[in-house]
Amino acid sequence: MTQRATDSDNGVARESQMVETVIKAFWERARSAAGLITQLREEKQILAKRVGEIEGELETSRAEIFAKDQELKRLRAEHAQLLDKDNGALTLEEKERLKARVKELIAKINSHL
């Protein structure tokens, strides 16, 4: 019976050692996984911050494009209006005002000479 008790004790010791080895391996894997999770969370925060910055830049670019598009539309309308205005010809009244203004400017220039 002593032999059986010793064999039984040895079997329990081996099983205990195997369980301890498995638990240590599991613990190391859990610690490694926790480290990886922490690293991934940090990377996620960095990427989320960068996404926010890029979205801000995108919104700014969209606003600039919208403003430029509005200016382009305004300039096109103004250009079309100028082209439609008798193909760029001045009315008789506008010509007379322009002549009078040129004469005034020439008179001012001559008075300073």
Domain boundaries, the chain: 2-112
Higher pLDDT, 7 or 36: 36
pLDDT of residue 82 exceeding 90, the answer is no
How high is the pLDDT of residue 87?
61
Could you count the other beta carbons within 10 Å of the beta carbon of residue 29?
A: 10
Token duo for residue 59? 């919104």
The tens digit of pLDDT for each residue in 19-67 reads: 999 999 999 999 999 999 999 999 999 999 999 999 999 999 999 999 9
pLDDT of residue 71 exceeding 90, the answer is yes
Task: Report DSSP state, residue 85.
Answer: T
Token duo for residue 70? 């509005």
